[in-house]
Amino acid sequence: MRRIVWLGTVAILVTAAMRTVSGAQISVKEGQAPAESALWVSPNLTDRLAKWKRVEMPFNSAGLSEREKQLVGKLVEASQDLDEIYWRQSDPKALDLYKLLEGKTDEFSDQLRRLLIINGGRYDVLDENRPFVGTAPIPPGGGLYPPHLTREDIEQYVEEHPDQKEAIYNPTTVIRRNGLKLVAIPYHIEYKQMLEPAAKALREAADLADEPQFANFLRLRADALLDDDYYASDLAWMDLKNPKFDVIMAPYEVYLDGVLGVKGSYGAAVLVRNEEESRKLELYQKYVPDIQEALPVAAEDKPSKRGHLTPMEVMDAPYRGGDLRHGYQAVADNLPNDPRIHAAKGTKKLFFKNFMDARVNTVIIPLAKRLLKRNQASEVSGEGYMASTVLHEICHGLGPAYAHVNGKQVDIREAIGPAYSALEEAKADVTGMFGLQWLVDHGALPEDRLKEYYASYVGGIFRTVRYGTGEAHGRAEMMEFNFLSEQGAILRDASTGRYAVNFQRIPGALAKLTKELLEIEAAGDRRRAETLLAKYNKMPPALAAKLKTFTDIPVDVDPVFSFPDKVD
């Protein structure tokens, strides 16, 4: 069967074997005349979407005053503005296509729009970032760099123009070409059209806030959006005491930057405190300095955390935007990433309860029941996974604050480059489990729950590796799985195809990997990081074959909010 769907100037040709998008505003190859353009669209959108389960993430306004509801609405507005920026950072051509599909109600258009939203672009995060629209491979720098610009090109350029290095490596500049020159444009200039209304919405939210500290933070964050200086607002953010409402509203994470590994992408989340669950975190807070001092790395590479703030909040997120909305659905965050804030104040750990519940119940427990030895599968639990996640986020803020390269103090992200995101996720994972073992060994957590913690951690690995190595978390946990298997800490029963945790070997194996990852970050050893990740990069065929059979278990959730997505 063959049909044509007209989308303004763009026609989508659909057949049983092929789908293409052609028209004046879309092109496959750089330099191709617009009238000749034609974009292939994957014929298996239904199969791709089946990997994502739609889960309602409603805004529970019960108990909130009208003023507080208006406050949340303004925070959502600001988040929507940052979400628009993220599309431009991730895949501007996908944004064009998304807009062209707006208002179309046929199944194909609806599926394609949804898949574009899920991925924040034309590249499938569950298929090693291969395109589902067009045939061109994903540009490593998204919309943050000129096409085809490489890290080597930049390194050579700054060697010839050392006065421009600071601006080019700045985490809040986009790089553009001007003839043979590279030009660094500050985010607040490049994205002014979206940042000004976002800042306005934050100031209006501040006027509605009953908590003076939170209002002050919102005003400072509005200023930061307009000048790219987040230091003062980050300090104010760290000083919030058990806020009823909170937000993530900044270009913190560097997952989009596959060129230098330093450019932040905008993320946004509106957060409402879960008081009961937040109280449970008090146990972990007092031991953070002790875990830092126990890490298996040189003393000079684990600066003291005594006297530092370690605010932890369990929140429900009724709306998310930017890098928290598209792709990998985070259940927690450790922010800010600025090492100056780490040195002065520490970091804030945020846990998104509604997203964590959805992940555990929808993905992790069903996978564990199919893949783990039956008596160990029964150990996997929401509380066990929460414990490993808490320690993961704590350990993002532990270990070295800077790398030491050729006698100089260097930002770890800059030193490691594009491999940093995966390396840091792996460090947080394994150092977190090292810390969890430490808490059990020192009587802070019950020893009889240790098997639950390890089984839940491994159950979580089975979920994350399904993302593949094109995504930082998937790459990290693939490495962890292969390393632990090599060490005999994870075993496979060939007769049943099920896996088992070797509870005697896993503590030592994780301690060994913890030491390796911390030393790499301390030395800023890019080659050692890339070699380690490459060595353990491949999914074992037996595991890959098994995972392919679980078509009824989604890979992740596709959140459905009470508030609409807004893309202009």
CA proximity to 356, closest of 388, 379, 378: 388
Going by C-beta distance under 8 Å and a sequence separation of 6 or more, which residues neighbour residue 314? 273, 274, 277, 278, 280, 281, 351, 353
Q: Extract the tokens encoding 165.
A: 């290095």
Residue 568 is predicted with a pLDDT of 65
| CB of 425 closer than 8 Å to CB of 413 | no
- The 3-state secondary structure of 62-110, one letter per residue: CCCCHHHHHHHHHHHHHHHHHHHHHHHHHCHHHHHHHHHHCCCCCHHHH
- CA–CA dist 289, 428 (Å, integer): 16
pLDDT band at 51 (very low <50, low <70, confident <90, very high): very high
| CB of 318 closer than 8 Å to CB of 58 | yes
Residue position matching structure tokens 């199944």: 107
User: What number is the average pLDDT over the span 82-101?
Assistant: 95
Please say if the pLDDT value at position 34 is more than 70. Answer: no
The whole-model pTM stands at 0.85
Residue 220 is predicted with a pLDDT of 98
Report angle CA 371, 376, 382 to the nearest 5 degrees: 90
Residue 88 is predicted with a pLDDT of 97
Q: Containing H/E element for 194?
A: helix 192-208
Q: Containing H/E element for 157?
A: helix 151-160
Give how far Cα 197 sits from Cα of 374, 406, 472, Å: 53, 44, 31
Report angle CA 521, 331, 64 to the nearest 5 degrees: 135
Going by C-beta distance under 8 Å and a sequence separation of 6 or more, which residues neighbour residue 75? 201, 202, 205, 245, 247, 270, 319
Residue 21 is predicted with a pLDDT of 52
- CA–CA dist 333, 352 (Å, integer): 8
- CA–CA dist 269, 446 (Å, integer): 34
Going by C-beta distance under 8 Å and a sequence separation of 6 or more, which residues neighbour residue 396? 334, 347, 424, 427, 428
In degrees rounded to 5, what are phi and psi of residue 76?
-65, -40
Residue position matching structure tokens 């890979």: 555
| CB of 138 closer than 8 Å to CB of 123 | yes
If one counts every other C-beta atom within 10 angstroms of the C-beta of residue 475, the result is: 24
In degrees rounded to 5, what are phi and psi of residue 180?
-90, -5
CA proximity to 349, closest of 237, 424, 224: 237
User: 134-163 pLDDT, tens per residue?
Assistant: 999 999 999 999 999 999 999 999 999 999
User: 276-319 pLDDT, tens per residue?
Assistant: 899 888 889 889 999 999 999 999 999 999 987 778 999 999 99
User: 484-511 pLDDT, tens per residue?
Assistant: 999 999 999 999 999 999 999 999 999 9
Burial class (CB in 10 A: 0-12, 13-18, 19+), 470: middle
β-partners of residue 133 are: 41
Residue 33 is predicted with a pLDDT of 29
User: 363-390 pLDDT, tens per residue?
Assistant: 999 999 999 999 999 999 999 999 999 9
The answer, yes or no, to whether the previous bond of 162 is cis (omega within 30 of 0) is no
Going by C-beta distance under 8 Å and a sequence separation of 6 or more, which residues neighbour residue 434? 295, 296, 395, 510, 511, 514
Please say if the pLDDT value at position 79 is more than 90. Answer: yes
